[in-house]
Structure 1
Amino acid sequence: MPDSAQPATSAQPSDVAAVLDGLDEQQQAAVAAPRGPVCVLAGAGTGKTRTITRRIAHLVEHGHTSPGQVLAVTFTSRAAGEMRTRLRGLGIGGVQARTFHAAALRQLRYFWPQVVGDTPWELLDRKFSLVGQAASRVGAKTSTENVRDLAGEIEWAKATLIAPEDYPAAAVRARRDPPGSAEQVSAVYAGYEALKARSGQLDFDDLLLHTAAALEEHSAVAEEFRDRYRCFVVDEYQDVTPLQQRVLDAWLGERDDLTVVGDANQTIYSFTGATPRYLLDFSRRFPEATVVRLERDYRSTPQVVSLANRVIGAAKGRVAGSRLQLIGQRPNGVEPHFSEHDDESAEATAVAARIKKLIEAGTPAAEIAVLYRINAQSEVHEQALTELGIPYQVRGGDRFFERPEVRQAVQVLRKAEQNGVGQAGGGGEAGDDPVDLIALVRALLEPVGLTAQAPSGGNARDRWESLLALVQVAEELVAHEPRAGLARLISELASRAESRHPPVVQGVTLSSLHAAKGLEWDAVFLVGLVEGTLPIQHALGEGGAAEEAAVEEERRLLYVGVTRAREVLCLSWALSRNPGGRKSRRRSRFLQGLVPADSPAARTPSRPEQGSRSNRKRAVCRVCNAVLTGTLSVKLGRCEDCPSDLDDELLEALKDWRRERSAELKVPAYVVFTDATLTAIAEQQPTTDAALVAIPGIGAAKLERFGAEVLGLVKADRSTSDA
Structure 2
Amino acid sequence: MSLESVLEGLDPEQRAVAEAVRGPVCVLAGAGTGKTRAITHRIAYAVRTGVVAPQRVLAVTFTTRAAGELRGRLRALGAPGVQARTFHAAALRQLTYFWPRVVGGEPPKILESKIRVVADAAREIGVSLGGGELRDVAGEIEWAKVTQHRPEDYAAAAARAARRPSVEIADVARTYAMYEELRRQRNLLDFEGMLELTAAVLTEHREVANQVRDQYRYFVVDEFQDVNPLQKMLLDVWVGDRDDLCVVGDPNQTIYSFTGASAAHLLNFTADHPGAKVVRLVRDYRSTPQVVGLANGLLGRAPASGHALELVAQRPDGPAPVFNEYDDEIAEADDTARRVRKLVDEGVPAREIAILFRTNAQSQMYESALAAANVPYVLRGAERFFERPEVREAVVRLRGAARAGADAETDGTGLIRTVRHVLSGAGFSDRPPEGAGAARARWESLAALAQLAEDMAADDPGAGLPEFVAELEERAAAQHAPPLEGVTLASLHAAKGLEWDAVFLVGLAEGTVPIIYAKTPAQVEEERRLLYVGITRARVHLHLSWALARSPGGAQARRPSRFLDGLTGKTTTHTPARLDRSAKRRPAKGPQPCRVCGRPLTAAVERKLGRCEDCPAELNEELLAALKDWRAEVSAEQRIPAYVVFTDATLQAIAEHRPESREDLARIPGVGKVKLDRYGDAVLGLCGV
Which TM-score band applies after superposition, normalised by the shorter structure? 0.7 to 0.9
Contact 2:635–2:641 (CA under 8 A) maintained in structure 1: no
Maintained 8 Å contact 1:435/1:697: no
Structure 2 residue matching 1:338: 3-state secondary structure? strand
1:489 partnered with 2:468: yes
| Residues 70-109 of structure 1: pairs in structure 2 closer than 5 A | 70-109=57-96
Matched, 1:595 2:568: yes
Question: What residue identity is the alignment partner of 1:228?
Answer: Q
Aligned partner (choices 509, 529, 543) of residue 488 of structure 2? 509
TM-superposed CA distance for 1:701, in Å, is: 3.4
Query: How far did 1:653 drift?
Result: 4.5
1:51 aligns with 2:38: yes
Q: Which structure 1 segments of 5+ residues have no match?
A: 1-11, 604-612, 623-633, 639-644, 656-672, 715-723
Q: Supply the AA of the counterpart residue of 1:124.
A: L
Q: Which residue of 2 aligns with 1:25?
A: 12
Q: SS at the partner of 1:499?
A: helix
Q: By how many angstroms is 1:52 displaced? A: 0.8
- Amino acid in the other structure paired with 1:449: G
* CA 1:246–1:448: 2 relative to 1, 3 Å: same
Matches within 5 A, 1:479-558: 479-539=458-518, 542=519, 546=520, 548-558=521-531
Question: 2:185 maps to what in 1?
Answer: 198
Question: Structure 1 residues 505, 160: CA separation in 2 closer, same or farther (over 3 Å shift)?
Answer: farther
Query: Hey, what's the Cα distance between the residues in 2 that align with 1:514 and 1:449?
Result: 26
Moved over 4 A (4+): 613-618, 650-653, 673-681, 687-691, 708-714
* Contact map agreement 1:454 1:461 (CA 8 A) in 2: yes
Tell me the number of residue pairs that the alignment of Structure 1 and Structure 2 aligns: 631
- Tell me if the contact between 2:225 and 2:261 (Cα under 8 Å) persists in the aligned partners: yes
Amino acid at match of 1:262: G
Q: Which residue number corresponds to residue 390 of structure 1?
A: 375
**Do the aligned partners of residues 697 and 406 (structure 1) sit closer, same or farther apart at CA in structure 2, a change above 3 Å counting?**
farther
Deviations 1:541-577 (A, max 9, x none): x3xxx2x111111111110000000111111111111
Q: Are residues 1:304 and 2:277 paired?
A: no
- Please state if 1:233 is matched with 2:205: no
Rate the CA distance shift 1:98–1:713 in 2: closer, same or farther, 3 A: farther
Equivalent-residue separation in structure 1 for 2:137 and 2:345 (angstroms): 47
Residue identity matched to 1:521: W
Q: Are the equivalent residues in 1 in contact too, given 2:327–2:574 (CA < 8 A)? A: no
Cα distance in 2, alignment partners of residues 316 and 325 from structure 1:
16
1:463 corresponds to which residue?
442
Distance 1:243 1:602 in 2: 50
Does structure 2 retain, via aligned residues, the 8 Å contact 1:238–1:277? yes
Residue 595 of structure 1 contacts residue 602 of structure 1 at CA under 8 Å; is this kept in 2? no
Deviations 1:102-133 (A, max 9, x none): 11111110111222112332111111111111
Aligned to 2:417: 439
- Equivalent position to 1:575, from 548, 570, 584: 548
Distance 1:69 1:690, change over 3 A: farther
Deviation for aligned residue 1:287: 1.4
Q: Does the Cα contact within 8 Å between 2:428 and 2:443 map onto a contact in 1?
A: yes
Deviation of 1:515 (Å): 0.3
Q: Equivalent residue for 1:565?
A: 538
**Rounded Cα–Cα distance in structure 2 between residues aligned with 1:679 and 1:183:** 41
Q: With structure 1 as the length reference, what TM-score do the two structures score?
A: 0.82
How far residue 677 of structure 1 moved from its aligned partner, in angstroms, is: 4.9
**Aligned mates of 2:262, 2:522 — CA distance in 1:** 12
Pairing 1:177-326 to 2, within 5 Å after superposition: 177-319=164-306, 322-326=307-311
Q: 1:343 to 1:57 in 2, by over 3 A?
A: same
Match of 2:589 in 1: none
Structure 2 Cα separation of the partners of residues 372 and 177 of structure 1: 22
* CA drift at 1:480: 2.0
Contact 2:21 2:42 in 1 (8 A): no
Partner of 2:678: 706
Change (3 A) 1:375 1:697: farther
Distance of 2:33 and 2:238 partners within structure 1 = 29
What residue in structure 1 maps to residue 351 of structure 2? 366
Identity %: 52
SS of residue matched to 1:448 = coil
Q: Take 1:559 and 1:270, find their aligned partners in 2: how far apart are those partners?
A: 15
What's 1:140 paired with?
A: 127
Return the offset for 1:505.
3.4
- The residue identity in structure 1 corresponding to 2:413 is V
**Structure 1 residues 499-527: Cα deviation after superposition (integer angstroms, max 9, x where no partner):** 11343432110000000000001111111
- 1:655-706 Cα shifts (integer Å, max 9, x gaps): 4xxxxxxxxxxxxxxxxx447758999xx9xx99979x9xx99735354222
What is the SS of the residue equivalent to 1:381?
helix
Matched AA of 2:527: E
Offset at residue 139 of structure 1 (A):
2.3
Match of 2:209, SS state, is: helix
C-alpha separation between the residues in 2 aligned to 1:679 and 1:701? 13
TM-score (norm 2): 0.86
Aligned to 1:9: none
Q: Equivalent residue for 1:112?
A: 99
CA contact (8 A) 2:24 2:244 kept: yes
Matched, 1:454 2:414: no
SS in 2 for 1:534: coil
The equivalent of 1:407 in structure 2 is 392
SS of structure 2 residue aligned to 1:394:
strand
Letter of the structure 1 residue corresponding to residue 398 of structure 2: L
Could you tell me which amino acid in structure 2 is paired with residue 446 of structure 1? S
- SS of 2:406's equivalent in the other structure is coil
Matched, 1:341 2:326: yes
CA contact under 8 A between 2:165 and 2:437: conserved in structure 1? no
